[in-house]
Amino acid sequence: MRIGISVAEPSGPDALIRLTDQVRAAADDGFASAWMSNIFGLEALISLAVAGSAVPGIELGTAVIPTYPRHPAVLAQQALTADLAVGGRLTLGIGLSHQIVIQDMYGYSFERPARHMREYLAVLQPLLAGDNIAFDGETVRAHIGLSVPRSGRKVPLLLAALAPRMLQLAGSVADGTVLWMTGPATVRDYIVPSITKAAADAGRRSPRVVCILPVCVTDDPAGARVSAGKAFAIYGQLPSYRAMLDREGAAGPGDVAIVGTEESVAGQISALADAGVTDFVAGEYARGDDGPRTRALLRALAAEHR
């Protein structure tokens, strides 16, 4: 299992400089990958292209880009361009986002999201592979080819997948899944078996399972769980994540955070590898002395897993 890091989204006029500094620190610390969300701040593909062009070696991933606001041909064009900028180190993570964002904020219909994703992938995947596409679906249409220069490999595509039909798509069509706020028992007993079966049934190789969770090394695990519950409270209210927390038997986000002493946190991360996670990505949120302590353990684990 490879160990990666989730980069915090900086603000201010020097945001891209500070993002580049984070990616450089992750590379210098030996992490296999750095992952960036795409919500309402910096646009992830542009940002990773800027940062990655200045920092060699480390894989760069989006976790995740919402599909609805971008036509799949536009997203393919952007991803191929960003991959070229970073020398073939981009992994494209995409997802549906949430009804409150897509419908209430953007004004798009969120009806039958699995249909939307199936049709979206029918256009996106061929274009990423360098093929032309002629597709007329109910929600997506495309008759187009792209002439973007390529880095020499196909951009890996991961799908944020929690519901059964999304996991089926992630295994049978995409290259795997990228998870957030999904506890270890749910990953072991539901996510990994479902996506692995979907890939096997489609005659595809074993899928990648990227698991992102909050992490804090501390002598006060109860306090750290309270802090995580406050920091990530919104994810306990969004339906897709709420369903995963309920499946885990977790009252809220703090209950799935990985917290405790060095030995405890290392054991919890190791258990994810045993559950079938191929990439663990740490969402650091510790304050004070727990921050450097958390990074030190993660750096050691990254070195062990290289």
Residue among 99, 64, 35 at smallest CA distance from 242: 99
Residue among 76, 22, 72 at smallest CA distance from 47: 22
User: What mean pLDDT do residues 21-30 have?
Assistant: 98
Q: What is the domain range of residue 74?
A: 1-160
| Tens digits of residue pLDDT in 73-100 | 999 999 999 999 999 999 999 999 999 9
What pLDDT was estimated at residue 306?
85
What pLDDT was estimated at residue 42?
97
H runs (alpha helix) in the chain = 15-28, 44-54, 72-85, 99-102, 113-128, 164-172, 184-186, 192-201, 221-231, 239-248, 262-275, 290-305
Residue 155 and residue 11 share a domain: yes
User: What mean pLDDT do residues 164-190 have?
Assistant: 98
- Cβ(184)–Cβ(215) below 8 Å: no
Residue 5 and residue 146 share a domain: yes
Residue 130 and residue 70 share a domain: yes
| Tens digits of residue pLDDT in 117-142 | 999 999 999 999 999 999 999 999 99
- Cβ(211)–Cβ(280) below 8 Å: yes
Q: Is residue 277 part of a domain?
A: yes
Question: Residue 230: which CATH number?
Answer: 3.20.20.30
What pLDDT was estimated at residue 287?
93
Residue 228 and residue 138 share a domain: no
Three-class secondary structure assignment of 243-265 = HHHHHHCCCCHHHCCEEECHHHH
Residue 251 has pLDDT above 90, yes or no: yes
Rounded Cα gap, residues 229 and 213, in angstroms:
12
Residue 156 and residue 10 share a domain: yes
Residue 204 and residue 156 share a domain: no
Reported confidence tier of residue 300, pLDDT bands at 50, 70, 90: very high
pTM for the model stands at: 0.97
The DSSP code sequence of 65-130 is EESTTS-HHHHHHHHHHHHHHTTS-EEEEEE---HHHHTTTS----SSHHHHHHHHHHHHHHHHTT
Give the Cα-Cα-Cα angle 109, 114, 115 (nearest 5 degrees): 75
Residue 108 and residue 49 share a domain: yes
Residue 275 has pLDDT above 90, yes or no: yes
> How many domains does one find in the chain?
2
Residue 151 and residue 247 share a domain: no
Among candidate residues 160, 177, 192, the one where a domain is terminated: 160
Residue 92 and residue 27 share a domain: yes
Cα–chain center distance at 227: 22
Among candidate residues 107, 134, 160, the one where a domain is terminated: 160
What pLDDT was estimated at residue 30?
98
What pLDDT was estimated at residue 40?
95
Residue 193 and residue 256 share a domain: yes
CA dihedral 164, 1, 276, 247 (to 10 degrees): -60
Residue 153 and residue 41 share a domain: yes
